[in-house]
Structure 1
């Protein structure tokens, strides 16, 4: 899974500021998406406003770390891995038995977003399993990225040549 966003959506933390040496060889947002498309032709790529993108592929998907994508109410969510307590969470949020892991995460986000400005850890504190996800709320321009506590699913992040942030899980070429 991959997400590449403009700085206005997600400013890279100071820790990601790289020395100017080598920046000329860094890829642009569009270049990174094209690399993913060429390496994984079956990828689903969402081209969002302002050159922002999200992508996922089911190629070489592991049964223990499946990938799921959902787009609902202008909220895009891609997850790698699995929620172990999905049945309990479906019941808690009033979702059907067919609700995927990504649907559960979107519902948890929407419930907490709409009730009050809760801290982001409130969205993930009840999620159990091995997972990493990227959620983008296009209406509000909010980007929410998380993984489980143990770090079983690697979540990589960096910056493009234009200093825009990118995030990837299960993609080792970036």
Structure 2
């Protein structure tokens, strides 16, 4: 998978940007160059979708370096790329009124729509119900929002970084991210979700803030940051009742 989103849609965490990306010998690439790298390194049935100059999503249904299932789905201007497998998908489909044949990407879109349109649960509770290994990316073109999540078991590794034009880049392909973002990249933290309007949160510990820790690579150069739960912090939240609990309010 690949998602690239301009700064007007997504403000990348400032800790992802490394000074070495502008002063080192390797420079970050522009968005179109990263997309070209993705398309050339994947199978002939890979495709991409561009949404003006602000966003693009690319997908390849197969990857020789991965054994994980991959799904792509789009509905009502919401697009989802999903990697992994949900062991309780049948129960979740029934709970959300989907057919038995709906795959994981279809379910994630339906869950997102339910939460976005004032569903009964906050997002962290919904993600905590997902059993299995997963990493997914959602782009809601109508609302111009991006949502990313990675399961807590760490079996689906996602990475994010910053391109030469300041766009945020998200992919499971670490080599693509390294080549495209130079030193300004990091693993996407497991057990976490990122929303373009509300930032990063650990869905297992939604009342705790996230803390950025600088990453130092094998060359001794600062390379983005790891984000961990700050056990000493606490997010103040208001109790929510009924329809006031929705996708747009966290924790």
TM-score, normalized by the shorter chain, greater than 0.5: yes
Query: Would you say the 8 A contact 2:71–2:105 is kept in 1?
Result: yes
Q: Any stretches of 5+ residues in structure 2 without a counterpart?
A: 178-251
Question: Is the 8 Å Cα contact of residues 45 and 53 (structure 1) preserved in structure 2?
Answer: yes
Deviations 1:27-55 (A, max 9, x none): 11111101111111321211112242111
Contact 2:8/2:54 (8 A) holds in 1 = no
The alignment's TM-score, normalised by the length of structure 1, stands at: 0.91
The yes-or-no answer on 1:18 pairing with 2:21 is: no
Choose from 28, 38, 41 the match for 2:40: 38
Distance in 2 of aligned mates of 1:169 and 1:63: 10
* TM-score normalised over the length of structure 2: 0.64
Q: Quick one: distance in 2 between partners of 1:25 and 1:142?
A: 28
Q: CA deviation at 1:8?
A: 1.4
Larger RCO of the pair (alpha carbons < 8 Å, separation 6+)? 1
Structure 1, gaps ≥5 residues long: none
> Is the radius of gyration larger for structure 1 or structure 2?
2
Identify the structure with the greater helix proportion. 1
| Alpha carbons 2:80, 2:136 under 8 Å: kept | yes
Residue equivalent to 2:58:
55
The CA RMSD measured in Å over matched residues stands at: 2.2
| Matching of residues 1-174 of structure 1 within 5 Å | 1-19=1-19, 20-22=22-24, 25-40=27-42, 41-60=44-63, 65-115=68-118, 119-170=122-173, 172-174=175-177
Distance 1:158 1:119, change over 3 A: farther
Give the length in aligned residue pairs. Answer: 174
